[in-house]
Structure 1
Amino acid sequence: MTILIITHSQDNESILSVMAAIEARGEKVFRFDTDKFPTEIQLDIAYSNGSQNIIIANEQQKLNLKEVSAVWYRRIAIGARIPRSMDKQLRQAAIQESRTTIAGMIASIKGFHLDKVVNIRLAENKQLQLQVAEEIGLKIPRTLITNNPEAVKQFAQECQQDIVTKMLSSFAIYDNLGQEKVVFTNPVTSEDINNLDGLNLCPMTFQEKISKALELRTIIVGDNVFTAAVDSQAVHQARYDWRREGVALINAWQPHDLPKDVEQKLLKLMAYFGLNYGAIDIILTPDGEYVFLEVNPVGEFFWLENSPGLPISQTIAELLINCSHQPKSLFDQTKVIHTVN
């Protein structure tokens, strides 16, 4: 049997690490770089007289999806290599048809899904994340999502500390050279409070600023909980968002032991969304409180394998292999294995 990894050709080293861990255990793995479809990767989907065959072929190998025992859904960039010289409307139609084709292909795969796309899409709703997290007992920041300037002014007055602003979506701006400029979490100044007219064009998320002793990233793989911590306050530009200085801090992460009750609550959160994998961001305050920020259902972990050396790729490989042996049925595509009290 074969494990299918769905990603794109520019994904980071986590793909190669998991592939190596799978192959080291004597299992087969096939990498589907979605940006190469439909221009370089061929897909044949045939339904005839009660039989079905789905064949995917890249430059090196060919795979019948009947052989797929588990799927790791990582990243997707379908149609990225369709020429931009193509008529704009026709190009968009080609991308949409390609996306629909691949979505159907993924949905039809029997076997274990890490994780099912429908569960990932539900879990990407950060408003729902905050609601569920608070209901299961996790502490969350005071939050306002609005396009109403007066509501922001009132919110700022109510918060005992300063406020910050962030986006609910993965928002980025691209310069003239096509370079991505990510919009990080930023402080809201008094000048900003008096200049909120643009909210009528785009709602934004505002949160009470939480004092930070450490920032944590918790990676959950099945029942395994890995946590690392970094002192983001040690680097000036990282005070509001450690990602802004992610490279400078890349070797500063240390292992961190979460309290068992916090771990159990995080596993309950994962179970609610039907997720076996998640990358969770948490703030540890100077008073020792753990404040949940968000869970990224396909979030990154690659740097944590180098510093502080967490065995995440190995654990993902083991989960994919171990769950490959469950019955192959369209009605049994996922197995949330969290054990919570």
Structure 2
Amino acid sequence: MTDPRPVLVVTSLHDPTADVVIGELHGRGVTVVRLDSGDFPATLSVEAEITEHGLGGRLLTPSRTADLANVRSMYYRRPTGFAFPHLDEQDSRFAVTQARYGLGGVLASLPGCLYVNHPHRIGDAEFKPAGLATAVDAGFLVPPTLITSSPDAAREFIKARGPVIYKPLWNPVHRVDGVSSAIRVAEATADDIDDDVAGTAHLFQERVPKVADVRVTVIGRHAFCVRIDSGLLDWRTDYSRITYTPVEAPPGIRPAIHHYMNRFRLVFGAFDFAVGEDGRWWFLECNPSGQWHWLEDETGLPMCAALADLLERTS
């Protein structure tokens, strides 16, 4: 018998990865309700009740209705933020907070729902200091890292640990001449450090002398490992130079991954490693909402099927 419980897919309108997953679920006859929390309240509404029976009610989009008490799973990707441009600044701030704690609170509290991943767990795992400290505790090799607002501390770290790279702790939308761009990972020298470092927090990390990178995409009980050869400090800067090879993880990596995932209560994660000259894997980061589908196109690894299995709750 077909399970009538829907899968919620919470993401922005333009999300090709979500499109692929939804197509796979539709092919299996699974009911899917897609929504963007940023559409609230214009084209998305919520009617949630909390009674002696728990949380119930419904979510309504222009084409779908979801029974909140019977959501099978939620694929939480990259929804847009709440916005109320028709209101003045103070009223907009109030409306945004009510939407976040109201609709956001409902989406985070669905009974019996499998979250991939839970939005609060995503938030926890996106803090780089927490991720690096947890990686050490899990048993990964982690490059020595400094987080500071002190120019003197940054210079001393670079002189002691060089070569050193700079990474943003978070990558917000950054516009140059009106064009969106990302702040890139780059090597930093002591001469690069000036008093502007005192203006906010920065992350400096000892550069691993690497021969390649590895992306490990964890989907439930599956870990898909892909070696990435590019010759670049940051392979994301030029995809045309990359070759991809499925590989097996060295001993110790999978147990450390499970420790890390359990610590943050994640069921999906995109881990990035640098492969040192001696073949050891160095942990760089884990993105709880990372991209993955292009790797399936490049390697044929069945990632979409694994994710659909997870959301369908057959695995």
TM-score by length of 1: 0.84
Distance in 2 (CA, whole Å) between partners of 1:137 and 1:182 is 30
Of residues 25, 39, 49 in structure 2, which corresponds to 1:46?
49
1:166 aligns with 2:167: yes
1:4 aligns with 2:35: no
Change (3 A) 1:130 1:52: closer
Amino acid at match of 1:144: L
1:299 aligns with 2:290: yes
1:222 aligns with 2:220: yes
Amino acid at match of 1:96: T
Change (3 A) 1:51 1:280: closer
User: CA offset at residue 294 of structure 1?
Assistant: 0.8
User: CA offset at residue 67 of structure 1?
Assistant: 2.6
Written as runs of structure 1 = structure 2, the 5 A alignment for 1:1-341 is 1-11=5-15, 13-47=16-50, 53-80=56-83, 82-83=84-85, 86-111=87-112, 112-159=114-161, 161-175=162-176, 177=178, 179-193=179-193, 196-233=194-231, 239-246=232-239, 248-249=240-241, 252-322=243-313
Amino acid at match of 1:19: I
Distance in 2 (CA, whole Å) between partners of 1:245 and 1:92 is 39
Distance in 1 (CA, whole Å) between partners of 2:136 and 2:311 is 31
Distance in 1 (CA, whole Å) between partners of 2:280 and 2:187 is 21
Structure 2 counterpart SS, 1:26:
coil
User: CA offset at residue 119 of structure 1?
Assistant: 2.2
Preserved CA contact (<8 Å) 1:37 1:78: no
User: CA offset at residue 323 of structure 1?
Assistant: 6.2
Preserved CA contact (<8 Å) 1:69 1:110: no
Structure 2 counterpart SS, 1:287:
coil
User: CA offset at residue 282 of structure 1?
Assistant: 0.4
Amino acid at match of 1:2: P
Preserved CA contact (<8 Å) 2:144 2:206: yes
Distance in 2 (CA, whole Å) between partners of 1:316 and 1:171 is 27
Preserved CA contact (<8 Å) 1:39 1:79: no
Preserved CA contact (<8 Å) 1:184 1:243: no
Residues 23-49 of structure 1 show CA distances to partners (whole Å, capped at 9, x for unaligned) of: 222221111122212122122223468
User: CA offset at residue 232 of structure 1?
Assistant: 2.3
Point out where structure 2 has 5 or more consecutive residues left out of the alignment.
none
Identity of aligned residues (%): 27
Preserved CA contact (<8 Å) 1:5 1:71: yes
Greater displacement, 303-312 / 87-96:
87-96
Residues 152-179 of structure 1 show CA distances to partners (whole Å, capped at 9, x for unaligned) of: 11111211x41110111233312453x3
Distance in 2 (CA, whole Å) between partners of 1:68 and 1:273 is 23
Point out where structure 1 has 5 or more consecutive residues left out of the alignment.
234-238, 325-341
Amino acid at match of 1:79: F
Comparing both chains, which one has the higher relative contact order based on Cα–Cα distances under 8 Å and sequence gaps of 6 or more?
A: 1
Distance in 2 (CA, whole Å) between partners of 1:50 and 1:212 is 56
User: CA offset at residue 73 of structure 1?
Assistant: 1.5
